[in-house]
A = this chain, B = another copy of it.
Amino acid sequence: MTRVTPRTRRSEALSRERIVEAAIELLDTVGEDRLTFKVLTERLATGAGAIYWHVANKGELLDAATEAVIAAALTIEPAGSPRADIHAVALALFEAIDEHPWLATQLALQLSRSPSGTVTPRIFESIGRRVSALDVPESTLFTASSALMHYILGAAGQNAANARFLGPDGDRAEFLAAASKAWEALDPEEYPFTRAIAAQMRDHDDREQFLAGIDLILTGIRS
């Protein structure tokens, strides 16, 4: 059930790290819905029982995978100004989610549950610490950091969803054109706004717009 003192093992010994590593790789390659204990045991050339000795259940495995990737992503060196630091954190999360689309689902699920996990607090801390460097009134620190965090995770997730829908070998410009056209074809009665900004989304840079959103919130914070 729990890990004990490490010892010498044969080279192919199983370990929590090796399992998490394999899980991440499978998540990235075959997708989250196809990460099953069957393919995991095949990949690791072992049985289900062996995996369950190192990991409590599938949820814990997914949590561990999420934490490993996020922790790596949040390893960032200071970039000078508080604003630049916040941009760096935001972009790091954006890139991580873009590279591992399953993170979007996973982080969203962790948020929909409890402060059980350690991932969400880590992200919140990472953002909040940099927000503190801005000189904002103490009373709005929580609100400001929350707003930033939700925007970052939400917008990055949305971007990942688009990328996932597009597929790894699709033409982005083509996709945007199609999406823009679809918006323009909406019912003018029900969707006047979406129609109106359809053109504006045809040609935009994902990262640029993402950072624009960050700056928009930062502006609000500084007032």
Binding site for B on A (CB under 8 A): 101, 104-105, 108-109, 111-115, 121, 124-125, 128-129, 131-132, 138-147, 149-151, 153-155, 157-158, 160-162, 164-165, 179, 182, 186, 190-194, 196-197, 200-201, 204, 209, 212-213, 216-221, 223
Q: Is the CB of A194 within 8 A of B108?
A: no
Bound-state Cα–Cα, A101 to B113, Å: 10
This chain's copy number in the assembly: 2
| Chain B residues in 8 Å Cβ range of A139 | 200
| Chain B residues in 8 Å Cβ range of A160 | 112
CB distance from A145 to the nearest CB of B (A): 8
| Chain B residues in 8 Å Cβ range of A112 | 101, 104-105, 108, 157, 160-161
Q: Is the CB of B141 within 8 A of A216?
A: no
CB distance from A147 to the nearest CB of B (A): 5
| Chain B residues in 8 Å Cβ range of A200 | 138-139, 141-142
24 CB < 8 A contacts A-B: A101-B112, A104-B111, A105-B108, A114-B161, A114-B165, A115-B179, A115-B182, A121-B186, A121-B191, A125-B191, A125-B194, A128-B193, A140-B212, A141-B196, A142-B200, A143-B212, A146-B213, A147-B155, A149-B154, A153-B154, A216-B217, A217-B217, A218-B220, A219-B219
